[in-house]
Homo-oligomer: A and B are copies of this chain.
Amino acid sequence: MCQLFPYAEFVTRWLEPEQQRAWRAYVRMQSELNAHLSRQMSAESEISMADFAVLVQLTDTPEERVRVLELARSLNWEKSRISHHVGRMEKRGLVRRESCGSDGRGSFVVLTDRGRSAIEAAAPSHAETVHKLVFDLLSDTEVQALREISEKIFTGLTTGECAAVVARRYADDAVEVVPEESGCPEARANRDGVDVEI
């Protein structure tokens, strides 16, 4: 928005050749890597990547129980996605819901024994796969570069005008989020893995 040069909105900025090569390489890599990780996870365990992500959040917590909205926020999923997914996981016995005493609306998602053994079974080979597909191929410098690039892009996504779009995902209806510059990135608690080191 707020363009100094009004035509700027109408002149298309195509990608430079070097950018285009980088972009195509990234897009392709990322889609294949995702596919591979999902496939490996499904093949070598009874859970999917999505299940894994949920279970990691649960094992990250001492009490092994997390509020639904807390899950949604830390995974950056829509709350309805969580709800559906937890429903399916519950059917398979990986988690269980418990009502929240202090807040009648809320509910907890609780790790079951089956859930714990499922993630403990899945995590090692997943970690090994990440090593084989990523870190075995990259130098320390490249690992650092990957992190810096990822952080820059991610920060851009959660700042300024982009943040408004992200915020929509947790609201029930389109709350007019004023793009206030004083975004609060510190709200993202940095939780460290306890049991499962991924």
Q: Which of A26, A31, A128, A162 has the most CB of B within 10 A?
A: A26
* Residue contact A15 to B130, C-beta cutoff 8 Å: yes
Which residues from B are CB-within-8-Å of A36? 157, 162, 165-166
Which residues from B are CB-within-8-Å of A131? 13, 15
In the bound complex, how far is the Cα of B12 from the Cα of A157, in angstroms? Answer: 34
Q: Number of contacting residues on A, CB 8 A? A: 59
A154 touches B (CB below 8 Å): yes
Give the contact stretch, choosing among A86-94, A100-108, A111-119, A132-140. A132-140
Which residues from B are CB-within-8-Å of A197? 14-15, 20
Give the contact stretch, choosing among A62-70, A141-149, A177-185. A141-149
In the bound complex, how far is the Cα of B123 from the Cα of A13, in angstroms? Answer: 10
Q: What is the count of identical protomers in the complex?
A: 2
* Residue contact A25 to B154, C-beta cutoff 8 Å: yes
- In addition to A22-B147, A23-B198, A137-B156, 14 A-B residue pairs with Cβ atoms within 8 Å of each other are A12-B123, A12-B127, A13-B127, A14-B197, A20-B193, A22-B146, A23-B130, A28-B76, A30-B150, A32-B157, A33-B157, A36-B166, A133-B156, A145-B149
In the bound complex, how far is the Cα of B30 from the Cα of A148, in angstroms? Answer: 13
Query: With A12-B128, A14-B197, A127-B13 in contact, do A29 and B157 touch (Cβ < 8 Å)?
Result: yes
